[in-house]
């Protein structure tokens, strides 16, 4: 099996870097609101969903216009992004519930743990399934 060459990978480095930066900004919106809502006494799953909605809008617009530079097909991209985000939110909420209610993990670090698998697959899903 041959590894991809640098020239094959290099064109994607800038896009991936922008993806990481915009995703980081969206994660700050998501996690920041989650922690504020927890501090205000909101139930951890409700706080997670609210944070996810805020992160969704920030990530969608940054990914669409900054990362992948797609100016057309707004509704098509929004629909695909929404479907994928709903799957992601179900995965995160399910993992969060298992970690907190079954595993006894504190809700604060549990959100980071539950978010990890989603983070790993999103770049490729958005690049090859949403913004095509």
- What the block records as the tokens of 129 is 């399934």
Per-residue b/e over 66-75, b at no fewer than 16 CB within 10 Å?
ebbeeeeeee
> Between 44-62 and 6-39, two packed helices, what is the crossing angle to 10 degrees?
140
Q: pTM of the full predicted structure?
A: 0.78
> pLDDT tens digits for 15-55?
888 988 998 999 999 999 999 999 999 999 999 999 999 99
Decide: 67 and 18 in contact? Cβ < 8 Å. yes
> pLDDT tens digits for 69-124?
888 999 999 999 899 999 999 999 999 999 999 999 999 999 999 998 888 888 78
- CA–CA separation, 3 vs 80, rounded Å? 31
């Amino acid at each position: 099996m041959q590894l991809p060459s640098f020239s094959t990978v290099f064109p994607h480095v800038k896009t991936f870097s922008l993806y990481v930066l915009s995703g980081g900004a969206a994660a700050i919106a998501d996690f920041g609101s989650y922690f504020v809502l927890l501090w205000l006494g909101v139930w951890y799953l409700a706080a997670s969903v609210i944070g996810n909605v805020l992160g969704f809008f920030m990530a969608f617009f940054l990914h669409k216009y900054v990362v992948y530079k797609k100016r057309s097909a707004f509704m098509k991209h929004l629909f695909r992004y929404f479907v994928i985000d709903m799957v992601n939110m179900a995965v995160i909420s399910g993992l969060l519930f298992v970690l907190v209610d079954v595993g006894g993990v504190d809700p604060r670090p549990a959100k980071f743990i539950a978010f990890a698998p989603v983070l790993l697959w999103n770049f490729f899903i958005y690049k090859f399934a949403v913004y095509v």
